[in-house]
Amino acid sequence: MKSLIVTGGGAGLGRTIAEQASTVGYRVGILDVNEELAVKASSSIENSVPLVASVTSYDEISDALATFGESPDVWINNAGIVRFAPLLDLSIDDWKSVVDVNLTGTFLCSSLVAKAMIDKGGGSIVNITSINGISAGTNSGAYGSTKSAISLLTQQMSLEWGQYGIRVNAVAPGLIDGGMSAPIYADPQFRKLRTEKVPTGRLGSEIDVANAVLFLSSDEASYITGHELVVDGGIINSIIANLPRPSSVDTVGIDEH
């Protein structure tokens, strides 16, 4: 039986990734800093164990790997936090918290698990980024900056660790109806305004993200590494289409002579 550990697995996207991974036959480690959430999630997911650790702690992640009892075939860096504020109002403490959990946590966990995967002969790592790491967004400068950095870190790790049989990819979710965004979509007005902007006409689900993560984790993706798969119903490509433009402008540049 193959095994997978997902960080931030106690809630939101991480929990759904854990559920789907169990459904397709993985033994699953549900790693979360929140013990109650990890234990609760594990109690309803077959073949899973709770692992209580912060992705920011080398010792806690080492202990979690020891508790899991084997080097996992797959590691998902999903734990992430956001602190909303315009840059001019963002405290240094909030900046540091976001960098610590999102970026440093991804580096710390990946380098620890990569060492175990090298001994095992290989593995697969998937990092959860965001479309907010591709394009800047309102009040989310710290968050977006870490997600963009994780995209580059994904390439760097794939470059350095391919020789050990370790593939490293990223999934960039768009407007997801769940997890940390649940409060946004609980407001019917925001829900409608945002949904209208998505070319496919709907918000994404946690399962949309989990499916992409499990594809990149799987042997079906054995020749894919260093890739960031955007799962957003097309919204990141629609920024210019969302700008108002008078139809008369369509003739600009056409030589009428």
Ligand X SMILES: NC(=O)c1ccc[n+]([C@@H]2O[C@H](COP(=O)([O-])OP(=O)(O)OC[C@H]3O[C@@H](n4cnc5c(N)ncnc54)[C@H](O)[C@@H]3O)[C@@H](O)[C@H]2O)c1
CB nearer ligand X, residue 7 or residue 110? 7
- Judge whether 58 counts as a catalytic residue: no
CB nearer ligand X, residue 188 or residue 244? 188
CA atoms within 13 A on the CB side of 10: 17
Give the C-alpha distances (Å, rounded to integers) separating 87 from 22, 43, 97, 147, 209.
40, 41, 14, 16, 29
Cross-strand pairs, 50: 30
CB nearer ligand X, residue 8 or residue 233? 8
Residue 116: CB atoms within 10 Å: 16
Binding mask 35-54 for ligand X (x = CB under 6 A): --x----------------x
179 counts as binding ligand X under rule CB under 6 A = yes
Catalytic one of 26, 58, 143, 223: 143
Report strand pairing: 123-128 vs 74-77: parallel
Which region, judged by CB under 6 A, interacts with ligand X, from 9-17, 114-122, 220-228, 244-252?
Answer: 9-17
80 counts as binding ligand X under rule CB under 6 A = yes
Q: In whole angstroms, what is the distance from residue 194 CA to residue 78 CA? A: 24
CB nearer ligand X, residue 114 or residue 150? 150
Which region, judged by CB under 6 A, interacts with ligand X, from 26-34, 42-50, 116-124, 214-222?
Answer: 26-34
Minimum distance, C-beta of residue 64 to ligand X, in the bound complex (Å): 10
Minimum distance, C-beta of residue 148 to ligand X, in the bound complex (Å): 12
Q: Is the dihedral of CA 180, 185, 189, 191 positive or negative?
A: positive
Minimum distance, C-beta of residue 92 to ligand X, in the bound complex (Å): 18
Cross-strand pairs, 166: 123
Minimum distance, C-beta of residue 246 to ligand X, in the bound complex (Å): 34
Secondary structure of 19-55 in HEC code, one letter for each residue? HHHHHCCCEEEEEECCHHHHHHHHHCCCCEEEEECCC
Q: In whole angstroms, what is the distance from residue 55 CA to residue 155 CA? A: 20
32 counts as binding ligand X under rule CB under 6 A = yes
One residue of 30, 45, 65, 79 binding ligand X per CB under 6 A: 79
Q: C-alpha angle with apex 144: 141 to 145, nearest 5 degrees?
A: 80
159 phi and psi, to 5 degrees?
Answer: -65, -45
Binding mask 145-164 for ligand X (x = CB under 6 A): --------------------
Binding mask 96-135 for ligand X (x = CB under 6 A): -----x---x----------------------x-x-----
Q: In whole angstroms, what is the distance from residue 84 CA to residue 70 CA? A: 38
Applying CB under 6 A, the residues found at the interface with ligand X are 7-8, 10-14, 32-34, 37, 54-56, 78-81, 101, 105, 128, 130, 173, 176, 178-181
User: Which residues are known to be catalytic?
Assistant: 143
